[in-house]
Amino acid sequence: MPLKRGVGISSGVVIGEAVVLDTNETRMPKRVITPEQVPGELALLDRVFEAAQSEVASERVQFSARAGAELADIFGFHEGWLSDPKPRKEIAALISEKQYSAAYAISLFMRRYRRRFQEMASPFLQERARDILDIERRLIRHATGEMHQELSAEGDPKIVIAHDLTPSQIVLLEKSGRLLGLATDAGGATSHTAIIAAGLGIPAVVGLEDITANVSGGDTVVIDGLHGVVIINPDEAQRKEYTATAAHLNKVRASLDQLRDLPAETKDGVRVELLGNIEFPSEVAGCIAKGASGIGLFRTEFLFLQQATPPDEEEQYQAYRAALEAVGDRPLVIRTLDLGGDKIHPGGGWEAERNPFLGLRSIRYSLQHLSLFRPQLRAIVRASAYGDVRIMFPLISRIMELRQAKFVLNLVMEELEEEGYEFKSNLPIGVMVETPAAAICARELARETDFMSIGTNDLIQYTLAVDRTNERVSQLFTPADPSIIRLIRTVIRQGRREGSSVSMCGEMAGDPMFTILLVGLGLRSFSMAAGNIPRVKKIIRNITLADAERVRRRVLGFETEREVLNYLRDETRKVWEEF
Protein backbone atom coordinates (compact mmCIF):
# COMPACT_ATOMS: atom_id res chain seq x y z
CA MET A 1 0.00 0.00 0.00
CA PRO A 2 2.67 2.57 -0.96
CA LEU A 3 1.50 6.17 -0.67
CA LYS A 4 3.00 8.84 -2.92
CA ARG A 5 2.55 12.60 -2.55
CA GLY A 6 2.65 15.10 -5.37
CA VAL A 7 0.73 18.14 -6.57
CA GLY A 8 -3.05 17.69 -6.54
CA ILE A 9 -4.78 19.15 -9.58
CA SER A 10 -8.52 18.70 -9.02
CA SER A 11 -10.86 17.86 -6.17
CA GLY A 12 -11.84 14.54 -7.68
CA VAL A 13 -11.19 11.11 -6.14
CA VAL A 14 -11.12 7.92 -8.26
CA ILE A 15 -10.19 4.28 -7.79
CA GLY A 16 -9.34 2.09 -10.75
CA GLU A 17 -6.96 -0.11 -12.66
CA ALA A 18 -3.70 1.47 -13.83
CA VAL A 19 -2.22 1.47 -17.30
CA VAL A 20 1.36 2.70 -17.67
CA LEU A 21 1.99 4.62 -20.88
CA ASP A 22 5.35 4.85 -22.59
CA THR A 23 5.59 8.55 -23.45
CA ASN A 24 9.30 8.60 -24.27
CA GLU A 25 10.40 10.38 -27.42
CA THR A 26 10.41 8.19 -30.53
CA ARG A 27 12.83 9.25 -33.26
CA MET A 28 12.04 8.74 -36.91
CA PRO A 29 14.61 6.66 -38.83
CA LYS A 30 16.60 8.56 -41.44
CA ARG A 31 15.11 8.05 -44.89
CA VAL A 32 16.49 9.54 -48.10
CA ILE A 33 14.21 9.82 -51.14
CA THR A 34 14.85 10.08 -54.87
CA PRO A 35 14.59 13.42 -56.72
CA GLU A 36 11.39 12.17 -58.34
CA GLN A 37 9.80 11.69 -54.92
CA VAL A 38 10.51 15.23 -53.71
CA PRO A 39 7.30 16.86 -55.11
CA GLY A 40 5.17 14.18 -53.48
CA GLU A 41 6.87 14.64 -50.10
CA LEU A 42 6.46 18.43 -50.32
CA ALA A 43 2.77 17.97 -51.05
CA LEU A 44 2.58 15.59 -48.07
CA LEU A 45 4.22 18.25 -45.88
CA ASP A 46 1.53 20.77 -46.84
CA ARG A 47 -1.23 18.27 -46.08
CA VAL A 48 0.36 17.44 -42.73
CA PHE A 49 0.47 21.08 -41.60
CA GLU A 50 -3.06 21.76 -42.82
CA ALA A 51 -4.40 18.68 -41.04
CA ALA A 52 -2.57 19.61 -37.83
CA GLN A 53 -3.90 23.19 -37.95
CA SER A 54 -7.45 21.97 -38.43
CA GLU A 55 -7.08 19.45 -35.63
CA VAL A 56 -5.70 21.98 -33.15
CA ALA A 57 -8.44 24.49 -33.98
CA SER A 58 -11.08 21.83 -33.41
CA GLU A 59 -9.51 20.72 -30.12
CA ARG A 60 -9.32 24.32 -28.96
CA VAL A 61 -13.02 24.92 -29.58
CA GLN A 62 -14.01 21.67 -27.87
CA PHE A 63 -11.72 22.25 -24.90
CA SER A 64 -12.87 25.84 -24.53
CA ALA A 65 -16.50 24.71 -24.45
CA ARG A 66 -15.63 22.25 -21.67
CA ALA A 67 -13.14 24.22 -19.61
CA GLY A 68 -13.54 27.88 -20.55
CA ALA A 69 -11.75 30.28 -22.84
CA GLU A 70 -8.91 31.17 -20.49
CA LEU A 71 -7.61 27.62 -20.17
CA ALA A 72 -7.90 27.08 -23.91
CA ASP A 73 -5.10 29.65 -24.25
CA ILE A 74 -2.68 26.74 -23.99
CA PHE A 75 -3.49 25.77 -27.56
CA GLY A 76 -2.84 29.31 -28.79
CA PHE A 77 0.90 28.70 -29.10
CA HIS A 78 0.23 25.53 -31.12
CA GLU A 79 -2.04 27.39 -33.52
CA GLY A 80 0.33 30.30 -33.92
CA TRP A 81 3.33 28.06 -34.53
CA LEU A 82 1.57 25.89 -37.11
CA SER A 83 0.33 29.01 -38.93
CA ASP A 84 3.84 30.52 -39.16
CA PRO A 85 5.21 29.86 -42.69
CA LYS A 86 8.87 29.88 -41.58
CA PRO A 87 9.07 26.40 -39.97
CA ARG A 88 7.29 24.84 -42.93
CA LYS A 89 9.73 26.51 -45.34
CA GLU A 90 12.74 25.23 -43.41
CA ILE A 91 11.37 21.70 -43.32
CA ALA A 92 10.59 21.93 -47.04
CA ALA A 93 14.23 22.94 -47.64
CA LEU A 94 15.41 19.76 -45.91
CA ILE A 95 13.18 17.76 -48.24
CA SER A 96 14.26 19.60 -51.40
CA GLU A 97 17.97 20.04 -50.67
CA LYS A 98 18.80 16.99 -48.53
CA GLN A 99 16.17 14.75 -50.12
CA TYR A 100 14.86 13.61 -46.73
CA SER A 101 11.41 12.10 -46.37
CA ALA A 102 8.78 14.44 -44.98
CA ALA A 103 8.53 12.49 -41.70
CA TYR A 104 12.28 12.49 -41.12
CA ALA A 105 12.65 16.15 -42.10
CA ILE A 106 9.91 17.08 -39.60
CA SER A 107 11.55 15.01 -36.86
CA LEU A 108 15.03 16.43 -37.51
CA PHE A 109 13.88 20.06 -37.65
CA MET A 110 11.66 19.76 -34.57
CA ARG A 111 14.42 18.17 -32.46
CA ARG A 112 16.78 21.00 -33.32
CA TYR A 113 14.07 23.61 -32.71
CA ARG A 114 13.08 22.08 -29.39
CA ARG A 115 16.68 21.95 -28.19
CA ARG A 116 16.85 25.77 -28.29
CA PHE A 117 14.11 25.99 -25.66
CA GLN A 118 15.41 23.13 -23.53
CA GLU A 119 18.79 24.84 -23.16
CA MET A 120 17.24 28.06 -21.84
CA ALA A 121 17.04 28.73 -18.11
CA SER A 122 13.51 30.15 -18.18
CA PRO A 123 10.85 27.66 -16.96
CA PHE A 124 8.38 29.43 -19.25
CA LEU A 125 10.54 28.65 -22.28
CA GLN A 126 11.14 25.12 -21.07
CA GLU A 127 7.36 24.68 -20.99
CA ARG A 128 7.41 25.85 -24.59
CA ALA A 129 9.79 22.94 -25.34
CA ARG A 130 7.02 20.58 -24.21
CA ASP A 131 4.64 22.38 -26.56
CA ILE A 132 7.11 21.87 -29.42
CA LEU A 133 7.30 18.16 -28.57
CA ASP A 134 3.51 18.03 -28.66
CA ILE A 135 3.46 19.68 -32.11
CA GLU A 136 6.19 17.32 -33.33
CA ARG A 137 4.23 14.24 -32.31
CA ARG A 138 1.12 15.62 -33.97
CA LEU A 139 2.93 16.34 -37.26
CA ILE A 140 4.65 12.95 -37.36
CA ARG A 141 1.38 11.21 -36.63
CA HIS A 142 -0.19 12.88 -39.66
CA ALA A 143 2.92 12.28 -41.78
CA THR A 144 3.08 8.55 -41.06
CA GLY A 145 -0.63 7.90 -40.71
CA GLU A 146 -0.02 6.04 -37.46
CA MET A 147 -2.77 6.65 -34.90
CA HIS A 148 -1.29 5.42 -31.62
CA GLN A 149 -3.98 3.85 -29.48
CA GLU A 150 -3.23 4.91 -25.91
CA LEU A 151 -6.07 3.04 -24.18
CA SER A 152 -7.95 -0.11 -25.04
CA ALA A 153 -11.42 0.49 -26.40
CA GLU A 154 -12.75 -2.32 -24.20
CA GLY A 155 -13.18 -2.76 -20.46
CA ASP A 156 -13.54 -0.20 -17.70
CA PRO A 157 -11.93 3.27 -17.85
CA LYS A 158 -8.33 3.28 -16.64
CA ILE A 159 -6.05 5.45 -14.52
CA VAL A 160 -3.16 6.56 -16.72
CA ILE A 161 0.35 6.55 -15.27
CA ALA A 162 3.05 8.32 -17.32
CA HIS A 163 6.29 10.22 -17.00
CA ASP A 164 4.61 13.27 -18.57
CA LEU A 165 1.76 14.01 -20.95
CA THR A 166 1.37 16.75 -23.53
CA PRO A 167 -1.85 18.79 -23.84
CA SER A 168 -2.98 16.98 -26.99
CA GLN A 169 -2.35 13.56 -25.40
CA ILE A 170 -4.59 14.44 -22.47
CA VAL A 171 -7.33 15.75 -24.76
CA LEU A 172 -7.18 12.59 -26.91
CA LEU A 173 -7.25 10.34 -23.85
CA GLU A 174 -10.23 12.22 -22.42
CA LYS A 175 -12.09 12.10 -25.73
CA SER A 176 -11.65 8.31 -25.81
CA GLY A 177 -13.96 8.02 -22.82
CA ARG A 178 -11.50 5.58 -21.23
CA LEU A 179 -9.67 8.02 -18.92
CA LEU A 180 -10.57 7.82 -15.23
CA GLY A 181 -7.66 9.79 -13.75
CA LEU A 182 -3.95 10.34 -14.23
CA ALA A 183 -0.65 10.57 -12.36
CA THR A 184 2.71 11.71 -13.73
CA ASP A 185 6.33 11.85 -12.64
CA ALA A 186 6.82 15.35 -14.04
CA GLY A 187 4.82 18.57 -13.90
CA GLY A 188 3.83 21.21 -11.41
CA ALA A 189 0.80 23.29 -10.52
CA THR A 190 1.37 25.65 -13.46
CA SER A 191 2.41 23.04 -16.05
CA HIS A 192 0.19 22.61 -19.10
CA THR A 193 -0.50 19.02 -18.03
CA ALA A 194 -1.96 20.30 -14.77
CA ILE A 195 -3.96 23.12 -16.38
CA ILE A 196 -5.53 20.85 -19.01
CA ALA A 197 -6.41 18.15 -16.47
CA ALA A 198 -7.96 20.69 -14.11
CA GLY A 199 -9.91 22.31 -16.93
CA LEU A 200 -11.39 18.99 -17.98
CA GLY A 201 -12.14 18.02 -14.38
CA ILE A 202 -9.87 14.95 -14.51
CA PRO A 203 -8.70 13.80 -11.05
CA ALA A 204 -4.93 14.06 -11.28
CA VAL A 205 -1.71 14.24 -9.28
CA VAL A 206 1.49 15.46 -10.96
CA GLY A 207 5.10 15.95 -9.87
CA LEU A 208 5.32 12.48 -8.26
CA GLU A 209 8.91 12.02 -9.55
CA ASP A 210 8.94 8.21 -9.79
CA ILE A 211 5.35 7.00 -9.98
CA THR A 212 6.07 5.12 -13.22
CA ALA A 213 8.72 3.07 -11.40
CA ASN A 214 6.31 2.12 -8.61
CA VAL A 215 3.16 1.23 -10.55
CA SER A 216 2.68 -1.70 -12.91
CA GLY A 217 -0.12 -2.16 -15.41
CA GLY A 218 -3.07 -3.83 -13.70
CA ASP A 219 -2.36 -2.39 -10.24
CA THR A 220 -5.28 -0.81 -8.41
CA VAL A 221 -4.61 2.87 -7.81
CA VAL A 222 -6.35 5.63 -5.83
CA ILE A 223 -6.00 9.18 -7.18
CA ASP A 224 -6.86 11.84 -4.60
CA GLY A 225 -6.59 15.09 -6.52
CA LEU A 226 -7.77 17.11 -3.53
CA HIS A 227 -4.83 16.20 -1.30
CA GLY A 228 -2.25 15.31 -3.97
CA VAL A 229 -2.08 11.65 -2.90
CA VAL A 230 -1.71 8.45 -4.90
CA ILE A 231 -2.17 5.08 -3.15
CA ILE A 232 -0.96 1.95 -4.92
CA ASN A 233 -2.95 -1.26 -4.26
CA PRO A 234 -5.02 0.13 -1.33
CA ASP A 235 -6.24 -2.17 1.42
CA GLU A 236 -9.93 -2.78 2.08
CA ALA A 237 -10.27 0.04 4.61
CA GLN A 238 -8.70 2.56 2.20
CA ARG A 239 -10.96 1.36 -0.60
CA LYS A 240 -14.04 1.96 1.51
CA GLU A 241 -12.83 5.37 2.65
CA TYR A 242 -12.09 6.67 -0.83
CA THR A 243 -15.18 5.08 -2.38
CA ALA A 244 -17.29 7.00 0.17
CA THR A 245 -15.36 10.22 -0.55
CA ALA A 246 -15.90 9.85 -4.31
CA ALA A 247 -19.62 9.25 -3.81
CA HIS A 248 -19.88 12.34 -1.58
CA LEU A 249 -18.15 14.53 -4.17
CA ASN A 250 -20.52 13.30 -6.87
CA LYS A 251 -23.46 14.18 -4.63
CA VAL A 252 -22.08 17.70 -4.12
CA ARG A 253 -21.71 18.20 -7.89
CA ALA A 254 -25.30 17.06 -8.44
CA SER A 255 -26.56 19.55 -5.85
CA LEU A 256 -24.71 22.39 -7.61
CA ASP A 257 -26.44 21.56 -10.89
CA GLN A 258 -29.78 22.23 -9.22
CA LEU A 259 -28.83 25.90 -8.72
CA ARG A 260 -28.91 26.68 -12.44
CA ASP A 261 -32.24 28.50 -12.56
CA LEU A 262 -32.03 30.08 -9.10
CA PRO A 263 -30.88 33.70 -8.77
CA ALA A 264 -27.42 34.62 -7.50
CA GLU A 265 -28.81 36.44 -4.49
CA THR A 266 -27.68 36.71 -0.88
CA LYS A 267 -29.99 35.62 1.91
CA ASP A 268 -30.92 39.26 2.51
CA GLY A 269 -31.80 39.96 -1.12
CA VAL A 270 -28.63 41.47 -2.65
CA ARG A 271 -28.50 40.46 -6.33
CA VAL A 272 -25.20 39.59 -7.97
CA GLU A 273 -24.69 39.19 -11.71
CA LEU A 274 -22.86 36.02 -12.80
CA LEU A 275 -21.62 36.07 -16.39
CA GLY A 276 -19.60 33.69 -18.56
CA ASN A 277 -16.29 34.03 -20.41
CA ILE A 278 -16.06 32.78 -24.01
CA GLU A 279 -13.83 32.96 -27.05
CA PHE A 280 -16.16 31.44 -29.66
CA PRO A 281 -19.93 31.86 -30.22
CA SER A 282 -20.44 28.11 -29.77
CA GLU A 283 -19.53 28.46 -26.09
CA VAL A 284 -22.50 30.68 -25.22
CA ALA A 285 -24.85 27.72 -24.77
CA GLY A 286 -22.52 26.09 -22.23
CA CYS A 287 -22.48 29.27 -20.14
CA ILE A 288 -26.26 29.63 -20.20
CA ALA A 289 -26.60 25.95 -19.26
CA LYS A 290 -24.58 26.63 -16.09
CA GLY A 291 -26.79 29.57 -15.12
CA ALA A 292 -24.94 32.56 -16.62
CA SER A 293 -27.05 35.71 -17.02
CA GLY A 294 -25.00 36.81 -20.01
CA ILE A 295 -21.47 36.95 -21.37
CA GLY A 296 -19.06 39.24 -19.54
CA LEU A 297 -16.02 38.55 -21.73
CA PHE A 298 -15.92 37.56 -25.41
CA ARG A 299 -12.20 37.22 -26.09
CA THR A 300 -12.16 38.01 -29.80
CA GLU A 301 -8.44 37.50 -30.51
CA PHE A 302 -9.03 33.78 -30.89
CA LEU A 303 -11.04 34.43 -34.04
CA PHE A 304 -7.70 35.66 -35.38
CA LEU A 305 -5.44 32.98 -33.90
CA GLN A 306 -7.37 30.06 -35.36
CA GLN A 307 -6.44 30.91 -38.96
CA ALA A 308 -3.38 32.03 -40.89
CA THR A 309 -4.92 35.27 -42.20
CA PRO A 310 -6.95 37.73 -40.09
CA PRO A 311 -10.73 37.39 -40.44
CA ASP A 312 -12.25 40.18 -42.48
CA GLU A 313 -15.06 42.44 -41.34
CA GLU A 314 -17.80 40.17 -42.65
CA GLU A 315 -16.41 37.06 -40.94
CA GLN A 316 -16.20 38.89 -37.63
CA TYR A 317 -19.66 40.38 -38.05
CA GLN A 318 -21.13 36.90 -38.56
CA ALA A 319 -19.35 35.61 -35.44
CA TYR A 320 -20.54 38.50 -33.25
CA ARG A 321 -24.07 38.23 -34.60
CA ALA A 322 -24.09 34.46 -33.93
CA ALA A 323 -23.02 35.09 -30.34
CA LEU A 324 -25.76 37.70 -29.91
CA GLU A 325 -28.41 35.39 -31.28
CA ALA A 326 -27.24 32.65 -28.91
CA VAL A 327 -27.24 34.91 -25.86
CA GLY A 328 -30.73 36.28 -26.57
CA ASP A 329 -31.73 39.35 -24.58
CA ARG A 330 -28.79 38.96 -22.20
CA PRO A 331 -25.71 41.23 -22.36
CA LEU A 332 -22.67 40.40 -24.48
CA VAL A 333 -19.42 42.20 -23.62
CA ILE A 334 -17.04 42.04 -26.60
CA ARG A 335 -13.40 42.72 -25.80
CA THR A 336 -11.41 44.08 -28.72
CA LEU A 337 -8.18 42.45 -29.84
CA ASP A 338 -5.80 41.40 -27.08
CA LEU A 339 -2.96 40.17 -29.28
CA GLY A 340 0.64 40.17 -28.14
CA GLY A 341 2.34 38.67 -25.10
CA ASP A 342 1.85 34.94 -25.67
CA LYS A 343 -0.87 35.41 -28.30
CA ILE A 344 0.98 36.07 -31.57
CA HIS A 345 -0.80 36.10 -34.91
CA PRO A 346 1.49 34.87 -37.72
CA GLY A 347 0.20 37.46 -40.16
CA GLY A 348 0.54 40.40 -37.79
CA GLY A 349 4.01 41.59 -38.74
CA TRP A 350 5.44 40.87 -35.29
CA GLU A 351 8.97 41.77 -34.31
CA ALA A 352 10.82 39.95 -31.55
CA GLU A 353 10.64 41.76 -28.20
CA ARG A 354 12.74 41.13 -25.10
CA ASN A 355 9.66 41.22 -22.91
CA PRO A 356 6.49 40.90 -25.01
CA PHE A 357 4.19 41.27 -21.98
CA LEU A 358 5.56 44.79 -21.53
CA GLY A 359 5.73 45.51 -25.23
CA LEU A 360 3.40 46.08 -28.17
CA ARG A 361 0.31 44.17 -27.10
CA SER A 362 -3.40 44.59 -26.70
CA ILE A 363 -4.79 48.14 -27.18
CA ARG A 364 -1.30 49.41 -28.05
CA TYR A 365 -1.12 46.97 -30.92
CA SER A 366 -4.64 47.82 -32.10
CA LEU A 367 -3.97 51.55 -32.13
CA GLN A 368 -0.84 51.00 -34.22
CA HIS A 369 -2.58 48.56 -36.58
CA LEU A 370 -5.79 50.29 -37.58
CA SER A 371 -6.10 47.97 -40.57
CA LEU A 372 -7.08 45.27 -38.03
CA PHE A 373 -8.74 47.48 -35.43
CA ARG A 374 -11.16 49.39 -37.67
CA PRO A 375 -12.71 46.30 -39.35
CA GLN A 376 -13.23 44.75 -35.93
CA LEU A 377 -14.99 47.84 -34.59
CA ARG A 378 -17.12 48.03 -37.75
CA ALA A 379 -18.16 44.40 -37.28
CA ILE A 380 -19.06 44.92 -33.61
CA VAL A 381 -21.06 48.08 -34.30
CA ARG A 382 -22.96 46.42 -37.17
CA ALA A 383 -23.79 43.44 -34.94
CA SER A 384 -25.17 45.78 -32.24
CA ALA A 385 -28.44 45.95 -34.17
CA TYR A 386 -29.16 42.39 -32.99
CA GLY A 387 -28.76 42.60 -29.23
CA ASP A 388 -27.24 44.05 -26.08
CA VAL A 389 -23.62 44.56 -27.18
CA ARG A 390 -21.04 46.32 -25.04
CA ILE A 391 -17.50 47.16 -26.19
CA MET A 392 -14.52 46.73 -23.90
CA PHE A 393 -10.96 47.91 -24.61
CA PRO A 394 -8.18 45.78 -23.05
CA LEU A 395 -5.03 46.74 -21.14
CA ILE A 396 -5.81 50.44 -20.93
CA SER A 397 -3.05 51.98 -18.81
CA ARG A 398 -3.61 55.70 -19.46
CA ILE A 399 -6.51 57.97 -20.28
CA MET A 400 -5.14 58.94 -23.70
CA GLU A 401 -5.31 55.31 -24.88
CA LEU A 402 -9.00 55.23 -24.00
CA ARG A 403 -9.65 58.52 -25.79
CA GLN A 404 -7.79 57.36 -28.91
CA ALA A 405 -9.78 54.12 -28.99
CA LYS A 406 -13.07 56.00 -28.57
CA PHE A 407 -12.03 58.40 -31.34
CA VAL A 408 -11.50 55.50 -33.75
CA LEU A 409 -14.86 54.02 -32.69
CA ASN A 410 -16.61 57.33 -33.38
CA LEU A 411 -15.05 57.52 -36.85
CA VAL A 412 -16.24 54.00 -37.59
CA MET A 413 -19.78 54.84 -36.48
CA GLU A 414 -19.82 57.90 -38.75
CA GLU A 415 -18.69 55.76 -41.69
CA LEU A 416 -21.37 53.14 -41.06
CA GLU A 417 -24.07 55.77 -40.70
CA GLU A 418 -23.07 57.29 -44.04
CA GLU A 419 -23.16 53.81 -45.61
CA GLY A 420 -26.71 53.27 -44.36
CA TYR A 421 -26.14 50.59 -41.73
CA GLU A 422 -28.46 50.35 -38.74
CA PHE A 423 -26.81 50.08 -35.33
CA LYS A 424 -27.05 51.28 -31.75
CA SER A 425 -25.34 54.63 -31.48
CA ASN A 426 -25.19 54.58 -27.67
CA LEU A 427 -23.14 51.43 -27.19
CA PRO A 428 -21.86 51.06 -23.62
CA ILE A 429 -18.07 51.43 -23.58
CA GLY A 430 -15.79 49.92 -20.96
CA VAL A 431 -12.16 49.17 -20.20
CA MET A 432 -10.19 46.33 -18.69
CA VAL A 433 -8.36 47.32 -15.52
CA GLU A 434 -5.27 45.12 -15.76
CA THR A 435 -2.38 47.33 -14.67
CA PRO A 436 -1.58 49.17 -11.44
CA ALA A 437 -1.67 52.41 -13.46
CA ALA A 438 -5.27 51.78 -14.49
CA ALA A 439 -6.29 50.83 -10.96
CA ILE A 440 -4.69 53.92 -9.45
CA CYS A 441 -6.30 56.15 -12.10
CA ALA A 442 -9.64 54.33 -11.99
CA ARG A 443 -11.49 57.56 -11.15
CA GLU A 444 -10.38 59.23 -14.38
CA LEU A 445 -11.19 56.12 -16.43
CA ALA A 446 -14.59 55.77 -14.76
CA ARG A 447 -15.57 59.30 -15.74
CA GLU A 448 -15.21 58.41 -19.43
CA THR A 449 -16.64 54.88 -19.43
CA ASP A 450 -19.90 53.10 -18.75
CA PHE A 451 -18.20 50.18 -17.04
CA MET A 452 -14.83 48.78 -15.96
CA SER A 453 -13.84 45.12 -15.71
CA ILE A 454 -10.99 44.04 -13.47
CA GLY A 455 -8.72 41.53 -15.20
CA THR A 456 -7.02 39.98 -12.20
CA ASN A 457 -4.66 37.68 -14.12
CA ASP A 458 -2.62 40.54 -15.60
CA LEU A 459 -3.27 42.86 -12.66
CA ILE A 460 -1.61 40.40 -10.29
CA GLN A 461 1.25 39.72 -12.70
CA TYR A 462 2.06 43.39 -13.22
CA THR A 463 1.53 44.44 -9.60
CA LEU A 464 3.57 41.66 -8.00
CA ALA A 465 6.12 41.37 -10.86
CA VAL A 466 5.52 37.61 -11.00
CA ASP A 467 5.27 35.34 -14.04
CA ARG A 468 2.73 32.72 -13.01
CA THR A 469 4.05 30.26 -15.63
CA ASN A 470 7.49 30.32 -13.97
CA GLU A 471 7.46 27.49 -11.44
CA ARG A 472 10.34 29.10 -9.52
CA VAL A 473 8.18 32.05 -8.52
CA SER A 474 4.63 30.93 -9.32
CA GLN A 475 3.89 30.50 -5.59
CA LEU A 476 4.17 34.30 -5.32
CA PHE A 477 1.34 34.76 -7.82
CA THR A 478 -1.71 35.13 -5.59
CA PRO A 479 -4.86 37.25 -5.55
CA ALA A 480 -4.67 37.14 -1.75
CA ASP A 481 -1.80 39.62 -1.59
CA PRO A 482 -3.00 42.67 0.38
CA SER A 483 -1.83 45.00 -2.41
CA ILE A 484 -4.14 43.30 -4.90
CA ILE A 485 -7.13 43.47 -2.56
CA ARG A 486 -6.55 47.18 -1.94
CA LEU A 487 -6.28 47.91 -5.66
CA ILE A 488 -9.56 46.07 -6.26
CA ARG A 489 -11.22 48.08 -3.49
CA THR A 490 -9.95 51.29 -5.10
CA VAL A 491 -11.38 50.41 -8.52
CA ILE A 492 -14.79 49.45 -7.10
CA ARG A 493 -14.98 52.61 -4.99
CA GLN A 494 -13.99 54.96 -7.80
CA GLY A 495 -16.34 53.27 -10.25
CA ARG A 496 -19.25 53.64 -7.84
CA ARG A 497 -18.46 57.31 -7.19
CA GLU A 498 -18.35 58.14 -10.90
CA GLY A 499 -21.33 56.01 -11.95
CA SER A 500 -19.30 53.43 -13.89
CA SER A 501 -20.27 49.86 -13.01
CA VAL A 502 -17.46 47.46 -12.08
CA SER A 503 -17.15 43.76 -12.85
CA MET A 504 -14.34 41.21 -12.62
CA CYS A 505 -13.42 38.71 -15.33
CA GLY A 506 -10.12 37.18 -14.17
CA GLU A 507 -9.67 33.80 -12.52
CA MET A 508 -10.18 35.36 -9.08
CA ALA A 509 -13.83 35.96 -10.01
CA GLY A 510 -14.39 32.22 -10.44
CA ASP A 511 -12.65 31.14 -7.23
CA PRO A 512 -15.28 30.51 -4.52
CA MET A 513 -12.76 31.23 -1.76
CA PHE A 514 -12.77 34.92 -2.73
CA THR A 515 -16.50 35.29 -3.33
CA ILE A 516 -17.47 36.52 0.13
CA LEU A 517 -14.65 39.06 0.18
CA LEU A 518 -15.48 40.41 -3.29
CA VAL A 519 -19.14 40.85 -2.42
CA GLY A 520 -18.03 42.64 0.74
CA LEU A 521 -15.79 44.94 -1.32
CA GLY A 522 -18.87 45.93 -3.33
CA LEU A 523 -18.47 43.81 -6.45
CA ARG A 524 -21.85 42.98 -7.98
CA SER A 525 -20.83 41.50 -11.33
CA PHE A 526 -18.59 38.45 -11.78
CA SER A 527 -17.55 36.90 -15.12
CA MET A 528 -15.90 33.48 -15.19
CA ALA A 529 -15.49 30.12 -16.91
CA ALA A 530 -18.85 28.38 -17.12
CA GLY A 531 -17.88 25.54 -14.80
CA ASN A 532 -17.26 27.90 -11.88
CA ILE A 533 -20.68 29.59 -11.95
CA PRO A 534 -22.56 27.03 -9.78
CA ARG A 535 -19.90 27.08 -7.03
CA VAL A 536 -19.79 30.86 -6.83
CA LYS A 537 -23.58 31.00 -6.83
CA LYS A 538 -23.66 28.48 -3.97
CA ILE A 539 -21.52 30.78 -1.81
CA ILE A 540 -23.55 33.89 -2.66
CA ARG A 541 -26.86 32.22 -1.77
CA ASN A 542 -25.48 31.13 1.62
CA ILE A 543 -24.35 34.54 2.93
CA THR A 544 -25.77 37.93 3.88
CA LEU A 545 -24.33 41.31 2.97
CA ALA A 546 -23.45 41.78 6.64
CA ASP A 547 -21.40 38.57 6.52
CA ALA A 548 -19.50 39.82 3.47
CA GLU A 549 -18.81 43.24 4.95
CA ARG A 550 -17.53 41.68 8.17
CA VAL A 551 -15.11 39.55 6.14
CA ARG A 552 -14.00 42.61 4.16
CA ARG A 553 -13.20 44.60 7.29
CA ARG A 554 -11.15 41.76 8.74
CA VAL A 555 -9.21 41.04 5.54
CA LEU A 556 -8.28 44.68 4.98
CA GLY A 557 -6.47 44.56 8.31
CA PHE A 558 -4.21 41.65 7.37
CA GLU A 559 -0.59 42.15 6.32
CA THR A 560 0.22 38.87 4.51
CA GLU A 561 -1.41 36.66 1.90
CA ARG A 562 -1.15 33.67 4.26
CA GLU A 563 -3.39 35.42 6.80
CA VAL A 564 -5.85 36.27 4.03
CA LEU A 565 -5.97 32.75 2.61
CA ASN A 566 -6.35 31.00 5.96
CA TYR A 567 -9.12 33.34 7.04
CA LEU A 568 -11.04 33.18 3.75
CA ARG A 569 -10.79 29.39 3.69
CA ASP A 570 -12.27 29.17 7.18
CA GLU A 571 -15.05 31.65 6.40
CA THR A 572 -15.97 29.85 3.19
CA ARG A 573 -16.21 26.51 4.96
CA LYS A 574 -18.58 28.05 7.49
CA VAL A 575 -21.12 28.75 4.74
CA TRP A 576 -20.36 25.66 2.62
CA GLU A 577 -19.03 22.68 4.55
CA GLU A 578 -18.11 20.72 1.42
CA PHE A 579 -15.80 23.47 0.12
150: β partners: none
Please tell me the distance from the alpha carbon of residue 525 to that of residue 284, in angstroms, as a whole number: 18
Which position among 192, 287, 345, 441 bears the catalytic label?
192
DSSP 137-198: HHHHHHHH------S-SSSS-EEEEES---HHHHHHHHHTT-EEEEEESS--TTSHHHHHHH
Q: Give backbone dihedrals phi and psi of 333, rounded to 5 degrees, phi first.
A: -95, 115
Beta strands at 204-206 and 179-184: parallel, antiparallel or unpaired: parallel
Say which amino acid occupies 496: R
Nearest to 11 by CA among 236, 166, 205: 205
SS3 477: coil
SS3 505: coil
DSSP 304-373: HHTSSS---HHHHHHHHHHHHHHHTTSEEEEEP---BTTB--TTS-----SSGGGSS-THHHHHH-HHHH
Active site (annotated) includes residue 227: no
Active site (annotated) includes residue 142: no
Please tell me the distance from the alpha carbon of residue 356 to that of residue 340, in angstroms, as a whole number: 7
Nearest to 42 by CA among 100, 116, 128, 85: 100
Question: 409, 377 in Cβ contact below 8 A?
Answer: yes
Please tell me the distance from the alpha carbon of residue 513 to that of residue 529, in angstroms, as a whole number: 15
Please tell me the distance from the alpha carbon of residue 565 to that of residue 542, in angstroms, as a whole number: 20
Nearest to 201 by CA among 219, 179, 220, 184: 179
159: β partners: 18, 181
Q: Give backbone dihedrals phi and psi of 442, rounded to 5 degrees, phi first.
A: -60, -30
| Maximal CA-CA distance, the chain | 79
Angle 296-300-301 (CA atoms, 0-180°, nearest 5)?
135
Question: 567, 484 in Cβ contact below 8 A?
Answer: no
Q: Write out the catalytic residue numbers.
A: 192, 505
